[in-house]
Structure 1
């Protein structure tokens, strides 16, 4: 069964967010609420909040009122996202059952009500087609999708939604058992409750609490109080009370107060987090600094640098931190020991194995490691000893883990996990997924260059993965790319450039620029610039297809190397851009010429050399970056033939398939020629830059950069629109402009400021 049309009932924050992401996936969406105006407001909300990967996708949503439920009669999937009131949901289901088409799937986005209660009193056919699909907020960005099937749910229904959620929505799909809170919120809520109560009891600094519960455990830097501000302080007591009401009285969640006195006070005062502008952290009255809540007094005080005696003594090590006797260490130990104890006590009640739990916490709460992966890192025996000191008897599963020496191991090249019955099972990996992490468990790379490694993806396709910090380009990395190109030509048929890393590449290593200029002046950069040019040209004209697998950020040189590939397969959330003006230069490795080629080939190609130069100038001068891969296609960084992958874990597999598709009869591209605007066209563009400076929209150094960029895009002072230029002509102009700009103190100041602060300098 194909899913082509989805109806969402309820246009609140979650319902409208789900509808927007379904539109991102390319399906037709019907969004209904009590009044059509409510549904319209939901679409508007998502346009403002960034729920759409491309604002044009909002046109895929049709809005309406629940007064006419017959509108859902042709929907393949109906998602209920109304208030968490059982009687309202059951009444809606009965009405939907009367109008939906046979075999259509129905699901609830509930996070608190079990499926047995939802389907009570409904028809057998409805129960066969019903399941819970619990999205996390915001639906576009949060990868976790929990699926709960009831005893009557047909297996095909689960398979259809699981596959659609994976491939079309890009979700990390986890199958959960029908238990309160399912997986992520069951454990995540316990962790938050334990941390909130213990920090308040100790009167710990908010800064230290967030610090010690962050990096040492692979938890996002928001820690606990940053997360409470983000989700809403008023929401937490409701979630905890709902969970406490649903679980047995001996469940450990009852050990923690759902609404400590400080929380009640903050709610009463309207200090409920980011949505109110004040929570545990707020801006000062002059908007120039931050204030935090003193957990002992409840009053605001100036925010202090985050410090922890325990963390300093532990040097970042989680076990040493938890063993330290200062308040920060005691806090971390209390929270994490009990959270890991709680997670271990819930198997096999909430899931059949540890992998589902770890996957849910990684995707739903952003942990780098799930609780059972943390147990393996800390050591099950060590944790049992710690629990015994607190008079807590280790759950049977934790004891089993200690006896077996851990919960995860590699067997025959596959990662396997220990199940509660003592057996081992391969960790679930959807068919068709390729990750270098998985490959590394089974075999070594074909070649290891230090700064990069070459892997065999099978079927004659190699994968070159960068290994530098943020995958930035250094001289060593350029040498490695050249060596890899030689090896691929000898032994493979095609190449993919990509990895499992969060960022494809942040561009050239700015420290190299700065150190080289300081030691030998701007001209000393010539060899580095030339090496990059020659390497990227080798990629473009290689005798085999090269596909760039883009994800995360691909800025500056990272974007330029992609522009030289035969094709790009981009993760949907990729941000591409030529951002060199932020550091006082212009693209130096072919970015200007490649964007001239791409802009001229777009369906909406600008007419004439001046319009073409202006189109590329308007991308590069303001350092525009795409908000998604779809946006990158609109901007021209991606061509219509480049692919977009919704699920990050499928990116390398999709890039491999694109490379294989290019392989039959492959020939390198023909060398282009350029007819550029020349001196007269440049003069008109410079006038526009001058106007921006006079109006205060650009700085004096922006003018310098703009003039340099215009010179390249119009072919230089001697260019004639009637006479063609070749790639080397544009390359020479780029090289000269790049080196000349780094001879200017204002450009060096931009480089220094970016290295020191991570932010651009407007000078």
Structure 2
């Protein structure tokens, strides 16, 4: 009688699921709709029935937050709940407007992807990823349960092209292909759209170039400007597509207030956590602006939802707190569980003490009792790739360090490493001194970070590769999200880690093995193969995560809270680390390593340049 029972359904009303069950069962029953793949997708839609005990809902919310690491959105028992209702509608609108505006699927995905803050798969790439047959079933399910008159019915009918593709086995990435296909010689192919009564078109080579407005949006984002401005202006088909998609999708999301939820944050959270949108619909409406939003609605010919009749923004500051406008047009503080900090929201109430296009430095005060005057380094370039500007902020934090430093951001990936486009430009220009100067500044910044007289905590989530990991390797401790990937991958692109990663890995392997020769061999294998750990536990096998020293957190929204607590715990009596003693390994290892690489080249396992890179890595650790 104490057992909680739940269903993962996204379509069956909770009333139908429990209608023949006893009262005691109905009080213990809820819907827990996890988004797939469950390991990576953060959203849990939690649905309470009319008779579900509130204590049951609270226990489920807390358990899923703290133990399973989910972002919990409490939903009413309405068709499609929140995520699928808006997300699937957006995909269907994307398909509909691609046909109406005469765009190719590549153009549509390029526009309805990163420029709108949506994953780069866009519409058709996401269909292929999820499975075209599964998406067709989801569309049919929503069509069967949504009320008559819902805007979904205009775009949720049977699609002849999709049905033909499914019948022929073209179900996406898991099948023979989908809208896209990898052809011979790994050439990416795309299938043109066809209308009712038309046969399936043959695949053709996919276009590699982006629409000019998508390029302009990327440039705007790199300069910390609004990317939507670049895609909404103009009279060409691309601009029309963007205006019509955003007009229809954002108006639809707004129309769900107040019948589906009274809090716009619920819908925003569902789309960010369940569909990986960078901004939710109401954050996008604020970015578009009320007047331009009304113009978009007029252009697509739909009714103005009542919530959009006010010219007030949905998100606004009240003192140092971020608030959200509710259905009754009154503002309430954003709703997050105790201990959860989403820095992309919190930063709206903060002013950086130093910033550039690639990184910012903030002061954190009042986040934990007795822990004040902290510094937070946030990377925010594309993929958080590290540049001179990024490392300028790291060096500045080491100089103006306050009472502790935290390196954190809540983007999808902590950092993909050094910006290789910048490096490539230096190589092509033959600017070897420029490369040396960049590496010296990088090394100088991370060394200063390591030896500051205050605690330094790294709090990554997602990918922390190459130079991104090298920054973390110079922190006192790490608080790592369980889905983080860490490692030094430079050898895979033909270069050698140059930001202290070899040295730090070598020292850690010595601590683990007690032998400088063993440490050199293990480090060489780690870095030469570009090995990464896809979890803290797997990273520990490579010494990129230190068991018993570093920490893991299931919910990435709790990383910053724990990092702040750790700084407080370490402050009393803290002393900066002393430069370590290290001994280079025996040069005799060079012969063993070179023999290993020569055999690999002869067998076709390695390219000749792999041997050059591997032996260069070896020389860093071997005594000549």
**TM norm structure 2:** 0.88
Asked if residue 487 in structure 1 is aligned to residue 400 in structure 2, the reply is yes
| Residue aligned with 1:416, SS | strand
Indicate if the aligned counterparts of 1:447 and 1:455 stay in contact, CA closer than 8 A: no
1:133 Cα deviation from its structure 2 partner: 0.7
Distance 1:369 1:539, change over 3 A: closer
The match for 2:256 is 346
Give the Cα separation in 2 of the matches to 1:483 and 1:204. Answer: 47
Is 2:38 the counterpart of 1:139?
yes
Q: Please say if 1:652 is aligned against 2:554.
A: no
Against the structure 1 CA distance between its residues 515 and 192, is the aligned structure 2 distance closer, same or farther, given a 3 Å change threshold?
A: closer
SS in 1 for 2:119: coil
Instruction: Please state how far the C-alpha of 1:429 moved relative to its aligned partner.
Output: 2.3
2:543 to 636, 659, 670: 636
d(CA) in 2 for partners of 1:449, 1:199: 37
Is 210-219 or 157-166 further displaced after alignment? 210-219
Q: Residue deviations 1:410-466, cap 9 Å, x none?
A: 222222222222222122122223344444333423455775414224413332334
- Structure 1 position 153 matched with structure 2 position 52: yes
* 2:69 corresponds to 1:167: no
Q: Conserved in 2, the CA contact under 8 Å of 1:236 and 1:258?
A: no
Alpha-carbon spacing, 1:701–1:587, altered in 2? closer, same or farther (3 Å) = same
- CA shift at 1:651, angstroms? 1.6
The change in CA–CA distance for 1:256 and 1:677 in structure 2 (over 3 A counts) is closer
Question: Any conservation in 1 of the 2:265–2:324 contact (CA below 8 Å)?
Answer: yes
Is 1:667 equivalent to 2:566 in the alignment? no
Q: What is the SS of the residue equivalent to 2:363?
A: strand
**Structure 2 Cα separation of the partners of residues 478 and 379 of structure 1:** 35
Aligned length: 606
Tell me by how many angstroms 1:287 deviates: 5.2
What SS does the corresponding residue of 2:143 show, helix, strand or coil?
helix
Work out which of the residue numbers 460, 467, 472 in structure 2 matches 1:557.
Answer: 467
For residues 313 and 619 of structure 1, the distance between their equivalents in structure 2, rounded to whole angstroms, comes to: 37
Deviations 1:234-256 (A, max 9, x none): 23333223222223222222223
Please name the residue that 2:221 is paired with: none
Q: Where does structure 1 lack aligned partners over 5 or more consecutive residues? A: 1-101, 718-763
Find 2:145's aligned residue among 238, 246, 254. Answer: 246
Deviation at 1:222, TM superposition (A): 2.0
TM-aligned CA distance change 1:383 to 1:506, over 3 Å = closer
The alpha-carbon distance between structure 1 residues 610 and 267, as it changes in their structure 2 partners (threshold 3 A), is: same
Tell me the SS of whatever aligns to 1:275: coil
Q: Secondary structure at 1:421's aligned position in 2?
A: coil
- 2:507/2:519 contact within 8 Å kept: no
1:629-679 CA-partner distances (Å, limit 9, x unpaired)? 332122210101101122222222211222222223223335433344312
Q: What corresponds to 2:526 in structure 1?
A: 619
The equivalent position to 2:335 in structure 1, one of 428, 431, 445, is 428
Q: Secondary structure, in 3 states, of the residue corresponding to 2:191?
A: strand
- The aligned residue for residue 286 of structure 2 is 376
Please, which of 464, 475, 490 is the counterpart of residue 377 of structure 2? 464
Q: Which runs of 5+ in 2 are unaligned?
A: 219-226
CA 1:275 to 1:527, structure 2 compared with 1: closer, same or farther past 3 Å?
closer
- CA–CA separation in structure 2 for the residues paired with 1:318 and 1:706: 45
Counterparts of 2:523 and 2:578, CA distance in 1: 22
Q: Helix, strand or coil for the counterpart of 1:182? A: coil
Aligned partner (choices 204, 225, 228) of residue 302 of structure 1: 204
Q: CA deviation at 1:329?
A: 4.2
Structure 1 residues 216 and 449 mapped into 2: Cα distance closer, same or farther (>3 Å)?
Answer: closer
Q: Which residue of 119, 123, 127 corresponds with 1:220?
A: 119
In the alignment, the residues of structure 1 paired with residue 9 and residue 596 of structure 2 have an alpha-carbon distance, to the nearest angstrom, of 54
Aligned to 1:543: 453
Q: Distance in 2 between matches of 1:654 and 1:702?
A: 41
2:213–2:231 contact (8 Å) kept in structure 1: yes
Counterpart position of 1:755 = none
The whole-number CA distance in structure 1 between the counterparts of 2:270 and 2:151 is: 20
* In structure 2, distance between residues paired with 1:249 and 1:105: 34
**Kindly tell me: are residues 564 and 215 of structure 1, through their superposed partners in 2, closer, same or farther at Cα, counting changes over 3 Å?**
closer
TM-score by length of 1: 0.73
- Write the distance in 2 (CA, Å) between the matches of 1:214 and 1:543: 44
Which residue is 1:122 aligned to? 21
